Amino acid sequence: MSHNEDIEYTENLSVHRNQPHHENHEHYDDSDTTHVPFIADDRLQRSVQKEDVTDKGYAWFILIISCIVYIIVPGSVKSFGVLYTELLDYYDGGAGNTARIPGVLLFLYFGLASVSNYLGEKYTYRVVIGIGSCLVLIGQTASAFVPKLEFLYITYGIITGMGYGLIFGPCSTILSFYFDKKRGLATGIMASCSGIGNMCFPYMYKYLIENYGLPGTILIAGAVYFHVCPVSMFLRQPIYVTRQIVERQARQKETQKCGALKRIFRFDLFKNSKFSVYITAICLQAANTTSNKVILPGYIRGLGFGIETITLAVSLFGASELVGRILLGWFADKNVVSRITIFMICSFICAITAFCMPYLPYKPAVIAYAVVIGAFSGSIWGLNQVIIIDCVGLKHLSPAFGLLSMSIGIIICISQPIAGLLEDATGSWTSSFYFVGILSGLAVVLCLLERPISHIWCCHRIVADDIIDVSRDIVDKSIPVAYKFNG
């Protein structure tokens, strides 16, 4: 279905909808994604029912498309460690300054998810992803010709990062609208495909660097990334999103303008204490994962093992992540233990291994660390969406995922440069390993304290509401009856 057909279908559906939808921002329960609302026209009703493909054949085709995008985009982002060590040698700008480049890129990569999801719902996901892939091509092409490291902050960090940001949000959320019963498995498979890219891109970078140098590698890689554009043309707008667009079109124009901003930045979701606690824990663990992408290649380089070992470690990171995400997604759907328990176990293992790594400066230990971090830290990313849905429901997935991604982008923008600056200040990566270990440890502690935090949160809100009610009663009693009648 083309973009014009999507708009025409939306307009036709809006004619037959009689009752406007009223969102309740305080209610976070999920709704039945397979339910088709009543429509007066029988022909149109059958058309809508035909469009409902949740957990069916076309949903698996969407999964294939999402997997291809995940191989290219997150896979290339996770393989930046190989380019990071080359940038250190090529520009000699220091570990901290060089680490700011992926920090800026990842900030936009995650931070634009709210905007890109809103634009995807309004203009279709395929259009937004296509525009994002064009920005990636422009940023990569410009990065191949910059003479100084500082210019990469703009070309590679901002322009390429904006392109990645427009791709990542829609590609990550569209799948959840097509799956219900097998959502955990589907998101696990999709997220694991970034591990395939993480396995392949390091060897591609190594081959291109040896034959074309760093500028040629960046230029050719940009052409590879641009393949996201034709692949995204196969994405079709979910019927669940189309219904929401129809419901918003039934409102008044000014209400739509106010609702658009609220739809992009739904900060009222933070009133849900469970969501706030878990989103903070996920951000801390995400900072561990992404910081290791910088720390591990730099640590291997400092030990003098060379680009072959760096390439092997980064690719094994992706391979273990590939297997781990599929297994975690499958295991999460079994409901043997809660998803948060799985998250805490993985974060605890990451914390322990990070504290042990500085005392094991050996090649087998470095390779084992890459496998462990990929299997446990990287695999957690496949649980993010299902944890969010458990907290706020499918209806609020897009804005909630946008808030999560924006929060992750902010903490990554801070944590990655800190990891590099600690190496510049101390002359070793030991403090950086301790830093990421503390981040994972804090994530575990937050999850353990979720219930008491929620209890305190609820008590605080109840007391605040009681104070407001008492204040209103006092004000009402102090106003004369005649004045209240006239006013």
If you write DSSP's letter for every residue of 179-218 in order, what string do you get? -STTHHHHHHHHHHHHHHHHHHHHHHHHHHHHHHHHHHHH
Side-chain half-sphere CA neighbours of 342 within 13 A: 26
Query: Does residue 447 lie within any of the structural domains?
Result: yes
So what's the pLDDT on residue 137? 95
- C-beta neighbour count of 25 within 10 angstroms: 11
Lowest mean pLDDT segment, chosen from 41-50, 126-135, 151-160, 442-451: 41-50
Query: Does residue 418 lie within any of the structural domains?
Result: yes
Range with the largest mean pLDDT of 63-77, 238-252, 323-337, 461-475: 63-77
Domain that holds residue 439: 51-456
At 263-310, the pLDDT tens digits run 666 777 888 888 889 889 999 998 998 899 889 988 998 888 888 898
Binned at pLDDT 50, 70 and 90, residue 367 comes out as very high
So what's the pLDDT on residue 238? 77
Query: Does residue 5 lie within any of the structural domains?
Result: no
Mean pLDDT of 141-147: 93
- 430 Cβ contact partners less than 8 Å away, ≥ 6 residues apart: 358
Kindly report the average pLDDT of the chain as a whole number.
78
Split into its structural domains, the chain has a count of 1
CATH code for the domain in which residue 212 is found: 1.20.1250.20
So what's the pLDDT on residue 437? 95
Q: Between 477 and 460, where is the model more confident? A: 460
Q: Are 343 and 333 in contact (CB under 8 A)?
A: no
Range with the largest mean pLDDT of 33-47, 136-150, 173-187, 259-273: 136-150
Query: Does residue 426 lie within any of the structural domains?
Result: yes
So what's the pLDDT on residue 463? 54
Query: Does residue 372 lie within any of the structural domains?
Result: yes
Binned at pLDDT 50, 70 and 90, residue 229 comes out as very high
Query: Does residue 429 lie within any of the structural domains?
Result: yes
Query: Does residue 147 lie within any of the structural domains?
Result: yes
The four Cα atoms 340, 341, 342, 347 give a dihedral, to 10 degrees, of: 90
In the chain, what percentage of residues exceed pLDDT 70? 77
Query: Does residue 29 lie within any of the structural domains?
Result: no
Lowest mean pLDDT segment, chosen from 256-265, 341-350, 443-452: 256-265
Q: Rg (Cα) of the chain, in Å, rounded?
A: 24
